[in-house]
């Protein structure tokens, strides 16, 4: 069914959140410093940008239940990347051409916070088109363009899976990359515009060689340390779900030749990563969850979260991800600072950052709860190996020079994010501990163990 009777509206969505958010916030797994929905469901990060002196993070949202439903866009903003506030819902599927507002991107267009998203409607022959919405009040409310859909159909020869537009500025024009498929192979289509309103198809930016999946979701282009990268979430790529393609983008031809690729995060709960152009640096958020997972927090009225922001760099053809400096502003009490790994016993907190430095890349760090082991990180034979009960063990090479080794981890009430050796290997997982506290033990040539409590990142009242 298309949506002519506007069952959904921004007002209704905000009222639902006002009614439910306080109770959700008091539940035991409510995350302390990650972006999560005030109530209901969240998936992909959307619309990441800086505008009006603030960082804006939008996300796929269904406020009425902790399960995926007709998609809205939730919104949070921050002045410093560490402390956040919930903003009113940005988009609801309230137009005749959409039954859901699917993923997309955002940009500051001469002071106007502008969103480009996919209008999705299964009942239509062309089920996915690209649309625009603008805010003239700094992101409080959005007006959908009268020209929607601004891209009314996929390019000839491409399938009707045609979604998740990401825009960026290239010289004096806007470019847009959108995920689709051609002949059963995932690909990314490229468009160009002077005003984000009128788009011209430029060609296929990049395409699977047959081994990179049958459809590409959430393509995100960036240039990091002189390296062109296209992040994609391929469907049907055996064993891989969110990868970075390394290549060379030619703005003249609109093509990107791929050289090699890397899995962005080895954990099972990481998907749909999107980049944020922050002037001199590139930040990235991912959905800290995955399709077809169980969500114990459903019982508490919410599901889904985003990762902490990560700053990207490239060294010797490897993608590195690190928490930005700004997150130090969340640090409270120092829970450990010792050369003795026994100091980890004192780290009893439901939100903390941990840094374990080793003299050599040979050792292990174990996270557990009252019932037993949750995650084991092992460094050996030039690799970082990650093992969780019930999930396949995975490993990544540690190829870059590093003085000894370091495992850095961000623990929240139901999540662990690990960064090994300056972000060369990353692993993100959701865990639901029995006692709300994730304890840990380290072995190997430990040089120094440090931990800090991390405080709440959100202002109290939503919207």
Residues involved in catalysis: 44
Count of chain residues binding ligand FRU (CB under 6 A): 13
For ligand FRU, the closer of residues 41 and 427 by Cβ is 41
Q: Is 269 an interacting residue with respect to ligand FRU (CB under 6 A)?
A: no
Q: Is 98 an interacting residue with respect to ligand FRU (CB under 6 A)?
A: no
- Neighbouring-strand partners of residue 186: 181
For ligand FRU, the closer of residues 164 and 417 by Cβ is 164
C-beta atoms surrounding 370 within 10 Å: 10
For ligand FRU, the closer of residues 105 and 282 by Cβ is 105
| C-beta separation of 354 from 367 below 8 A | no
Cβ-Cβ contacts under 8 Å for 347 (sequence gap 6 or more): 335, 336, 354, 439, 440, 451
For ligand FRU, the closer of residues 73 and 352 by Cβ is 73
Cβ-Cβ contacts under 8 Å for 239 (sequence gap 6 or more): none
Smallest gap, in angstroms, from Cβ of residue 287 to ligand FRU?
7
Burial level of 355, CB count in 10 A (0-12/13-18/19+)?
middle
- Neighbouring-strand partners of residue 244: 231, 262
Q: Which of residues 177-216 bind ligand FRU (CB under 6 A)?
A: none
Q: Which of 218, 266, 365, 377 binds ligand FRU (CB under 6 A)?
A: 218
Smallest gap, in angstroms, from Cβ of residue 3 to ligand FRU?
16
Q: Which of 25, 61, 163, 202 binds ligand FRU (CB under 6 A)?
A: 163
Q: Which of 266, 272, 314, 330 binds ligand FRU (CB under 6 A)?
A: 272
Q: Which of residues 8-67 bind ligand FRU (CB under 6 A)?
A: 43-44, 60
For ligand FRU, the closer of residues 161 and 350 by Cβ is 161
Q: Which of 59, 73, 102, 246 binds ligand FRU (CB under 6 A)?
A: 102
Smallest gap, in angstroms, from Cβ of residue 109 to ligand FRU?
22
For ligand FRU, the closer of residues 31 and 119 by Cβ is 119
Q: Is 217 an interacting residue with respect to ligand FRU (CB under 6 A)?
A: yes
Q: What is the DSSP string of 179-209?
A: EEEETTEEEEEEEEESSSSS-EEEEEEEE--
Q: Which of residues 108-127 bind ligand FRU (CB under 6 A)?
A: 118
| C-beta separation of 309 from 323 below 8 A | yes
- Neighbouring-strand partners of residue 45: 59
Q: Is 242 an interacting residue with respect to ligand FRU (CB under 6 A)?
A: no
Q: Which of 16, 164, 228, 424 binds ligand FRU (CB under 6 A)?
A: 164
| C-beta separation of 258 from 206 below 8 A | yes
Which two tokens mark 180? 């689709």
Q: Smallest Cα–Cα separation from 45: which of 164, 143, 162, 190?
A: 164
Beta strands in 281-370 (DSSP E): 281-287, 302-303, 310-315, 318-322, 331-338, 352-358, 363-369
Query: What does the binding site for ligand FRU look like in residue numbers (CB under 6 A)?
Result: 43-44, 60, 71, 102-103, 118, 163-164, 217-218, 271-272
């Amino acid at each position: 069914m298309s949506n002519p009777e506007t069952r959904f509206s921004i007002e209704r969505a905000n009222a639902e959140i006002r009614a439910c958010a306080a109770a959700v916030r008091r539940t035991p797994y409510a995350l302390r410093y990650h972006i999560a929905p005030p109530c209901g469901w969240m998936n992909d990060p959307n619309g990441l940008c800086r505008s009006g002196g603030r960082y804006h993070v939008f996300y796929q949202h269904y406020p009425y239940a902790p399960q995926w439903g007709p998609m809205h866009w939730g919104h949070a903003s921050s002045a410093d990347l560490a402390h956040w506030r919930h903003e009113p819902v940005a988009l609801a599927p309230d137009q005749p051409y959409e039954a859901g507002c699917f993923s997309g991107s955002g940009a500051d267009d001469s002071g106007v916070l502008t969103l480009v998203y996919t209008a999705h409607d299964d009942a239509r022959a062309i089920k996915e088109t690209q649309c625009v919405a603008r805010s003239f009040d700094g992101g409080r409310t959005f007006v959908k363009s009268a020209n929607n859909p601004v891209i009314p159909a996929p390019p000839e020869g491409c399938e009707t899976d045609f979604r998740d537009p990401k825009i960026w500025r290239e010289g004096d024009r806007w470019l847009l990359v959108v995920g689709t498929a051609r002949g059963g192979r995932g690909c990314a289509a490229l468009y160009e515009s002077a005003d984000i309103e009128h788009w011209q198809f430029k060609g296929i930016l990049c395409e699977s060689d047959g081994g990179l999946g049958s459809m590409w979701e959430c393509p995100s282009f960036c240039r990091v340390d002189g390296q062109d990268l296209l992040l994609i979430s391929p469907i049907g790529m055996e064993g891989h779900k969110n990868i970075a393609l390394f290549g060379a983008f030619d703005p003249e031809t609109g093509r990107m030749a791929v050289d090699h690729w890397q899995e962005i995060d080895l954990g099972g709960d990481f998907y749909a990563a999107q980049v944020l152009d922050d002037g001199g640096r590139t930040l990235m958020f991912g959905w800290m969850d995955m399709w077809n997972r169980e969500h114990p927090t459903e019982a508490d009225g919410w599901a889904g979260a985003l990762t902490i922001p990560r700053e990207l760099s490239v060294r010797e053809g490897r993608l590195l991800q690190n928490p930005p400096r700004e997150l130090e502003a969340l640090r409270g009490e120092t829970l450990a600072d010792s050369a003795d790994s026994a100091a980890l016993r004192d780290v009893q907190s439901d939100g903390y950052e941990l840094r374990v430095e080793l003299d050599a890349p040979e050792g292990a760090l174990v996270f557990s709860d009252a019932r037993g082991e949750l995650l084991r990180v092992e460094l050996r034979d030039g690799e970082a190996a990650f093992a969780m009960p019930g999930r396949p063990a995975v490993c990544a090479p540690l190829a870059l020079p590093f003085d000894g080794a370091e495992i850095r981890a961000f623990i929240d009430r139901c999540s662990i994010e690990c960064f090994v050796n300056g972000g060369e290997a990353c692993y993100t997982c959701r865990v639901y501990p029995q006692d709300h506290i994730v304890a840990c033990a380290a072995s190997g040539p430990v040089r120094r163990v440090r931990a800090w409590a991390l405080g709440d990142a959100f202002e109290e009242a939503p919207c």
